[in-house]
Structure 1
């Protein structure tokens, strides 16, 4: 882990508890990670994993039950909120806009509450809402409201930006446009912490990520490292006369209902061995597919393994 002096965001053994006594529930349980300046860090997890609870602690909306959080090296999000707030932006899961104001009026109102805001027109153009400036908030689609949230959260050119499910409710076009904006912010030096349910989003944007499950971090690292820890697969059908035959692969073989699945850490080599064997023996491998390891598969395996470990603990 990086030292606090080199991190824009650092969490050290952070816990968040709701309630008291026997009814208490720990939503965040010993979470630790750090985010370097200019880095985009993604928090993934199943529903109820603790992502939003963690982000709220980082934003200073609540103090941790135990553990330590530091922003910009040595600032406490709660105790030093007045010093931190002008340097950060936050996009919550749900915005608190007044429904009968227009988009432009909403941004103008927030600009009056923001230190050194960018021009309202620029904020609207950046979020792709300039053509909807005179539309009332209540008439926006769900995706457009998320863009309005983004316009407001980036008004101050924040050094650190928290994005909680930033593309929820957006169509594919809006999602990709938002990704482009996030990349632009990161390239400009903004440190971004992102929570998302879209694995493609994390895979496309994140420098590093962590997968949370039941309040803990199950694994963390680059997308490439996390994916590399999980196997690839080959799938094909075999003629009945070859069923049960030993295949020339090093991976784990499973046969069911005429389909064969090979789980392997050597995708290229096992695929080559199988195709060569099939050619030599005049065997047709029906609907042969080769699937490299993906973040989605890693996520599903990690969530499942973490759940099984807790149930048997």
Structure 2
């Protein structure tokens, strides 16, 4: 579906991308994470055929991205931060009818308007929409042609929680029907909700490519085992890593299964046992701050 091979993008002495390579198979849901200036938008713009790489190549549907024709683009949808492409004097419904008319089997406007919470705004002119409403309309335009592949550059930035939930639900439903998408975001909650695959960029380099849970595991962060203990002391192998707060103890553990077994076999009187795994946000911060490459998690294919 999508392939990037050693993508480089330079602006004078500034390297926006440094040898980025990955592949997306049909139906995959990929989330591109990284700090500002890491190359997220540049990657999407090259894949979408809007930007020429300095070196390396990219393909979409087997066609080089610099040679994409209207035939391929009819199966693609785009939401970019600085490429809205909306007509301010049209109404919301007229906008969807106009763009839907370019496709042989568009999604009915009413379905998208209801799914994105715009039904009550369907007769309002685009120029009178709020920023969040305009953003939702941009997403509707990207989806109206039933695309097989969608590029989403921070699609929920500036939206309220209810609007974000609507978009997440709509995208999840479309993905279940086989749509492939690749999106950039700063929201780790969004990444966890939507992404099967994380591409983590920093300074134009790909630090990680793989499932979110693998990213968490490769970050090297400990699990936190907490419990209340009565009576006997902890075994020495656990006591050296345990932090006490009254009757509650917290144990940082890189091998939670082994430590839980040791606690069970200790015969201690334990209560309120809890295990907290590292979060995707914690793994993200650890990898970005450390800059550790873990590309060996790249899916085969």
- When normalised by structure 2's length, the TM-score is 0.81
Moved over 6 A (4+): 235-238, 254-261, 274-278
Tell me the CA shift for residue 265 of structure 1.
1.6
Give the secondary structure class of the aligned counterpart of 1:62.
coil
The residue number in structure 2 matching 1:183 is 172
Contact 2:216 2:283 in 1 (8 A): yes
The residue number in structure 1 matching 2:277 is 292
Q: Which range moves more in the overlay, 43-52 or 228-237?
A: 228-237
Are 1:151 and 2:136 counterparts? no
Are 1:11 and 2:4 counterparts? yes
Are 1:86 and 2:79 counterparts? no
Structure 1: any 5+ residue segments left out of the alignment? 1-7, 239-244, 309-313
The residue number in structure 2 matching 1:5 is none
Contact 2:226 2:273 in 1 (8 A): yes
The residue number in structure 1 matching 2:193 is 204
Aligned pairs for 1:270-285 within 5 A:
270=259, 273=262, 279=268
2:288 to 299, 303, 307: 303
Q: 1:226 to 1:130 in 2, by over 3 A?
A: same
Q: 1:126 to 1:236 in 2, by over 3 A?
A: closer
Distance 1:215 1:256 in 2: 43
- When normalised by structure 1's length, the TM-score is 0.79
2:203 to 214, 217, 227: 214
Distance 1:293 1:119 in 2: 42
Q: Which range moves more in the overlay, 143-152 or 88-97?
A: 88-97
Distance 1:60 1:93 in 2: 16
Aligned pairs for 1:86-125 within 5 A:
86-94=74-82, 95-112=84-101, 114-116=102-104, 117-125=106-114
Tell me the CA shift for residue 110 of structure 1.
2.8
The residue number in structure 2 matching 1:234 is 224
Q: 1:15 to 1:177 in 2, by over 3 A?
A: same
Tell me the CA shift for residue 96 of structure 1.
3.5
Distance 1:161 1:130 in 2: 23
Contact 1:179 1:205 in 2 (8 A): yes
Contact 1:10 1:71 in 2 (8 A): yes
Distance 2:2 2:227 in 1: 50
Tell me the CA shift for residue 144 of structure 1.
2.0
Distance 1:271 1:142 in 2: 50
Give the secondary structure class of the aligned counterpart of 1:27.
strand
Task: List per-residue Cα deviations over 1:213-250 (Å, max 9, x = no partner).
Answer: 11111011111222222333438799xxxxxx995339
Structure 2: any 5+ residue segments left out of the alignment? 229-233, 294-301
Distance 1:236 1:188 in 2: 41
